Amino acid sequence: MCFSTVWGRAIRPEVLQSSGVSAESLDLGTVYIGALRDEETALCDLLHLPEQSFVVAGLLVGWPADGVQTLVRPRLPQNAVAFKNGYGPIDLKGAVET
């Protein structure tokens, strides 16, 4: 996603997430890439972006190839990250081992 300087250099996370959810609702696959800003000048040149444009985030969208196994990263269980009516103690080591 690239914006002109009128928008500023920040993008609200929900804008990027909403774009990804919309794509996934059409059975498209998505990959978020935040490190694109590490090579911003080279990427702007590669994409022939106008002079006042800059990169804020990357969202790759496409149809997943048939028969390709996708990587699902491990997540902490909900009892380690969600609490009711307050913040509770976390046993991360125990949560990771389960």
In angstroms, the CA 98 to CA 84 distance is 21
For the cut 90, the answer to whether the pLDDT of residue 87 exceeds it is: no
Q: What's CA 27's distance to the chain center, in Å?
A: 17
- Residue-wise pLDDT tens digits, 6-40: 555 566 678 888 999 999 999 898 988 877 777 88
pTM to 2 decimal places: 0.53
- Residue-wise pLDDT tens digits, 38-79: 788 888 889 898 888 777 778 899 998 888 777 777 778 887
The residue ranges of every structural domain in the chain are: 13-64
Q: Please check whether residue 1 is in contact with residue 11, taking contact to mean a CB–CB distance below 8 angstroms.
A: yes
The pLDDT assigned to 8 comes to: 55
